[in-house]
Structure 1
Amino acid sequence: MYESYYGFSAKPFQLRPDPHFFFGSKGHKRAMAYLEYGLSQGEGFIIVTGEVGAGKTTLVRNLFNRLPSDQIVAAHIVNTHLDPDDTLRMVVSAFGLPYEGASKTDLLTRLERFLCDIDHQGKRALIVIDEAQNLSARTVEELRMLSNFQTDHKSLLQTFLLGQPEFRATLHSPGMQQLRQRVIASYHLGPMDAQETRAYIEHRLATVGWNGDPAFDDGAHEAIFAYSGGIPRKVNTLMDRVLLMGYLEELHAFGAADIQTVISDIDEEFEAPEGLGVPAADTLAGSHGAGDIDQALHLRDERIGGDRRVTSVEVLDERMMRLEKSIVSVLSILKKIVANPQGAAATHPVDNEE
């Protein structure tokens, strides 16, 4: 792939969150400072919100790399489409405790015993909940109840909640007053500005051995920022495609026009086919009433939303790599045909039978 063409040691813009590529923009540094401040307090809730692809998961993994394992026992939960009882099971499981077939009372007893054992070892427990916007108010309340585990002197469990901006609506709902009183810090991770976006790109390139090849002029960087809005994941998606095009077209310098070509390709690929849309109301109706139609639409939206959430960035990255390989293979064959049409015809004879 383009890694060897440009002399990179690895893909610089993979979609998988990788703390090795962590870039400390102003916002990310402040968010990390909040997380580290929370760790120093050893109690309560720390909340970090941000748009999709803003880098929250990378932030957490970078934090985990810094955690002193001899002082903190940490667990990370991502699957948050759970009811309160399931959340308790997930917390128990995340700390490596048995949970199958146990009642809620048993689960609470096991968790409390585990937390007390951790405390006796001079350590403390941390639970990090990702995708917190998917938590219901009842589930959030269940997490708050778990923060009641404490000794006479300190809390036994600390919780970090990371989610998309809509989680703030849950946090500020009328029933969340007791949770808000236990939040010791909250931060919203916004997008990078144009200068930071350029520095982010150069940082990731430099991490894999970039020596200026390929080059990106000011117009290219302006086009990248205009498309991505400073969201790291959108930058990664675009830059990966830009470098693939550079490899296929044998480019070593990119301008605004080159970036726009890739953006147009991406936009075209994600256009919905004609005729594919929301079914008409009369199609859905049939023998059903208006209430059934509303319910069907709601279930459809819920199913689609769930499917999108289930798809992980790791799977998308793997699919992109397979697509790249297919493109490169096809183009290699086409180049051979163009360079030596007679030899290609002999190698790939055409069936003339009618």
Structure 2
Amino acid sequence: MYDDFYGLSGKPFQLTPDPAFWFDTGTHRKAMAYLTYGLSEGEGFIVITGEPGAGKTTLLGHVLSTIDPARLNVIRLVTTQLEPEDLLQVIASGLGTDPAGLSKAQLLSAIERGLHAVARAGRRTLLVVDEAQSLPLSAIEELRMLSNFQAGGHALLQIFLLGQPEFRERLQGSGRVEQLRQRVIAMHHLDPMEAHEVEPYIVHRLSLVGWNGRPDFTPEAIEALHRWSGGVPRRLNLLMSRVLLMGGVEEIERFDAAEIDAVGVELAEDVGHSEEAEEHVPAAAPSPDTARPARGVLHAVPSPGSAQTAELAALNDRIAKLEARLADQDETLRRVLMLLVDWVEGEERRPNIDRLRGNAA
């Protein structure tokens, strides 16, 4: 819908990783440097970690797209808590061996023969393991053993491990993987994008699908996009897809922070993160109840500045009313105290008056 309205040739913010939309942020540039260095070494383990949606799979796709298949045989594996024997079967299949019915010893022999065959053809073998945090310790140890295969003093297998932050912590904190850790020649953690990288990222993706300046985004909108997404590419893609969808429906040509906040609140509510919504909406922004505009009146949402002015005026009015009530209460209390003093003094004079009357009688 929105691609037609804005004249785009495709959807620039799909959630499916696409190397064609690769964008070189600072942290991804570092990761590429580590990966390039690791490939040049041709041995050991290279570890890349990052939060879900940080761009690990997109990074991997970009790297693999630059590799000459005539020089490198790539076996790619997305783990789902594979046990060691299952892992060996997948690797054997990637080397052209049917693993059906083979024992573990036979699988290891088949893998070694396959690695030698690839090496004799003038190629190296790269094993890429995605979601490595799901690997049990026994499978990690099996990978370490596979990295021992050599020919003529050169490693036959190099291994890339991609995982979530807990995998990095696991490698750094557990003595049980010390031998594997010693073979890690490069490790990098993908950080979220910096605030100044959000706008170039958006422009880059939009430009790949024929963006001609429609829609436009204010600096405040860019800041809100970073705030709501935390700089995580997948979150930003999801947010931008919903923003553009709303823009296509409401025919919005220029987005401001109010529209981004409205979509951010909706997304947070969709996944049940109301606390996250309250945390991301700035104090000057509309409350969650008013941030979602009715169709056709989106531009009537007040800007953060005007909302702050209205809230301040209402607060001042409430303070003035409270002060007036306190003044009235003070006056009433003063009168009550005066009456009380008069009554006490009257009670103290009454015995003397009664005595005087008695004497007169």
- State TM-score, norm by structure 2: 0.74
Judge conservation of contact 2:17–2:57 (CA < 8 Å) in 1.
yes
Deviation at 1:170, TM superposition (A): 2.2
- Judged with a 3 Å threshold, the aligned counterparts in structure 2 of structure 1 residues 6 and 96 are, in CA distance, closer, same or farther, namely farther
CA distance in 2, matches of 1:58, 1:19: 6
Q: Secondary structure at the match of 1:208?
A: coil
1:271-308 Cα shifts (integer Å, max 9, x gaps): 289xxxxxxxxxxxxxxxxxxxxxxxxxxxxxxxxxxx
Judge conservation of contact 1:77–1:94 (CA < 8 Å) in 2.
no
**Counterpart amino acid of residue 148 in structure 1:** N
Judge conservation of contact 1:46–1:183 (CA < 8 Å) in 2.
yes
* Residue of structure 2 in register with 1:123 after alignment: 123
How do residues 180-191 of structure 1 correspond to structure 2 at under 5 angstroms? 180-191=181-192
Judge conservation of contact 1:124–1:157 (CA < 8 Å) in 2.
yes
1:114-135 Cα shifts (integer Å, max 9, x gaps): 1101111111000000111111
CA distance in 1, matches of 2:60, 2:186: 16
**Counterpart amino acid of residue 10 in structure 1:** G
Q: Does 1:260 align with 2:266?
A: no
Calculate percent identity across the aligned residue pairs. 51
1:127-149 Cα shifts (integer Å, max 9, x gaps): 00011111122111110001011
* Residue of structure 2 in register with 1:168 after alignment: 168
* Residue of structure 1 in register with 2:208 after alignment: 207
Deviation at 1:254, TM superposition (A): 0.5
**Counterpart amino acid of residue 3 in structure 2:** E
* Residue of structure 1 in register with 2:220 after alignment: 219
Shifted more, 89-98 versus 125-134: the winner is 89-98
How do residues 230-249 of structure 1 correspond to structure 2 at under 5 angstroms? 230-249=231-250
Judge conservation of contact 1:246–1:252 (CA < 8 Å) in 2.
yes
CA distance in 2, matches of 1:43, 1:33: 16
1:69-91 Cα shifts (integer Å, max 9, x gaps): 11000111112311111111122
Deviation at 1:113, TM superposition (A): 0.9
How do residues 78-157 of structure 1 correspond to structure 2 at under 5 angstroms? 78-157=78-157
CA distance in 2, matches of 1:59, 1:168: 17
* Residue of structure 1 in register with 2:54 after alignment: 54
Deviation at 1:104, TM superposition (A): 1.0
* Residue of structure 1 in register with 2:345 after alignment: none
Deviation at 1:55, TM superposition (A): 0.2
Larger radius of gyration: 2
Q: Secondary structure at the match of 2:151?
A: coil
**Counterpart amino acid of residue 190 in structure 1:** D
CA distance in 1, matches of 2:137, 2:214: 51
Q: Secondary structure at the match of 1:14?
A: coil
Deviation at 1:96, TM superposition (A): 4.1
CA distance in 2, matches of 1:162, 1:23: 19
Aligned residues: 274
1:211-266 Cα shifts (integer Å, max 9, x gaps): 11000111110110001110000000000000000111111110001111111111
Q: Secondary structure at the match of 2:48?
A: strand
Q: Secondary structure at the match of 2:150?
A: coil
How do residues 324-335 of structure 1 correspond to structure 2 at under 5 angstroms? none
How do residues 313-352 of structure 1 correspond to structure 2 at under 5 angstroms? none
Deviation at 1:2, TM superposition (A): 1.3
Q: Secondary structure at the match of 2:47?
A: strand
CA distance in 1, matches of 2:185, 2:273: 45
Q: Secondary structure at the match of 1:166?
A: helix
- State TM-score, norm by structure 1: 0.75
**Counterpart amino acid of residue 56 in structure 1:** K
CA distance in 2, matches of 1:210, 1:95: 44
**Counterpart amino acid of residue 154 in structure 1:** H
Judge conservation of contact 1:74–1:125 (CA < 8 Å) in 2.
yes
CA distance in 2, matches of 1:252, 1:97: 57
Unaligned runs of 5+ in 1: 274-330, 332-354
Judge conservation of contact 2:3–2:9 (CA < 8 Å) in 1.
yes
Judge conservation of contact 1:10–1:208 (CA < 8 Å) in 2.
yes
- Judged with a 3 Å threshold, the aligned counterparts in structure 2 of structure 1 residues 95 and 196 are, in CA distance, closer, same or farther, namely farther
Judge conservation of contact 1:31–1:187 (CA < 8 Å) in 2.
yes
CA distance in 2, matches of 1:266, 1:149: 49
